[in-house]
Copies of this chain bind each other. A is one copy, B any other.
Amino acid sequence: VSVLVVGSVALDTVETPFGKRKDILGGSAMYFSVAASYFSDVKLVGVVGEDFPERGVEILKRHNVDITGLQEEPGKTFRWGGKYHTDINHRDTLFTDLNVFEKFSPKIPNSYKNAEFLFLANIHPALQLEVLSQVDKPDLIVTDTMNLWIDTTLGDLKKVIQKTDILLLSDSEVRQLMDEPNLVKAGRALLKTGPKYVIIKKGEHGAMLLNADNVFFAPGFPLEDIKDPTGAGDVFAGGFVGYLHQSGAITEKTLRQAVIYGSTLASYACEDFSLDRLDKLTLDDINGRFKVFRDLTAFEV
């Protein structure tokens, strides 16, 4: 009856052409949870320091996110700082202070262990394996990763991928991981190593859902005002996994819809800093933009 997410909870310092914010709420598990909460009950596992602000807990509670698994440890909360270019699709990381996240060891509360869907946000593959060893067999395991783990921890990453049902990664990551420049070939090769589906995230260029037989392509939403793209990938994952769970079935039909719901929520999230826009969505907002996505690629045969 719920979706379990294990990932980071962070305080971000973000500068974009549209402003600068210090110590705003962020982290993959935060973004994922609030997005998924529009469709499903979410249980979060993560770690914060003693300085984590009350507003961080409040937003999770407001979205009915179960925070039994949100550990508080002595020290400071994980902090990330980044600056976006004029072309907001590019950014530089200014600092990464792991703080309490450095010694994070995910503990899955007993009340979480029967979660039906598991989202392993982008954390160290060894931690992702620790999580997998603690849960009952979930119906669906969705995993996110990044180039850092391909470079440094390929062995553990491959073990995680082998146990994953749906793998999310970027176009450059799938090319790097499979050492194959053609995206479709790289995705198809990856499918032979474990996952039933691969979702290739192309940032502003959209996302591709791939299995052995089908390709589905979701465009990036043509936003005129992007204030802050931080967390868009995690929000996408939240909308995707949350909707898929709510739909009650994992079929080509629901997977395609889930990709569009993920894209819908991600596009909204970019319209303001941190979780500010995501916090205030209505189901009408979500379903309205879902339909605009339909019109965006519709043509008569």
Query: What is the interface of chain A, defined by CB distance below 8 A to chain B?
Result: 86-88, 175, 181-185, 188, 202, 204-206, 208, 215-219, 222-226, 253, 256-257, 259-260, 290-291, 294, 296-301
Contact = CB atoms under 8 A, between A and B. Distances in A.
Contacts of A297: 216-219, 297
Given A216-B297, A256-B300, 5 more contacts: A88-B181, A184-B222, A215-B222, A257-B299, A294-B301
Contact of A224 (B184, B224, B291): B184
B181 A299 contact: no
- A interface secondary structure, majority: mixed
A130 B260 CA distance: 47
**Identical subunits present:** 2
Nearest to A181: B87
A224 B182 contact: yes
Contacts of A181: 86-88
Contacts of A185: 224
A188 B222 CA distance: 12
Nearest to A214: B295
Nearest to A297: B297
Contacts of A222: 183-184, 208, 215, 217
Contact of A206 (B86, B219, B298): B219
Nearest to A88: B181
27 contacts: A87-B175, A87-B181, A183-B204, A183-B222, A184-B222, A184-B224, A185-B224, A205-B205, A205-B206, A215-B222, A215-B296, A216-B297, A216-B299, A217-B222, A217-B296, A219-B219, A219-B297, A253-B300, A256-B298, A256-B299, A256-B300, A257-B299, A257-B300, A259-B299, A291-B301, A294-B299, A294-B301
A26 B256 CA distance: 39
Contacts of A291: 301
A227 to B, nearest CB: 11
A290 B301 contact: yes
Contact of A184 (B223, B259, B300): B223
B182 A226 contact: yes
A181 B87 CA distance: 5
Contacts of A223: 182, 184
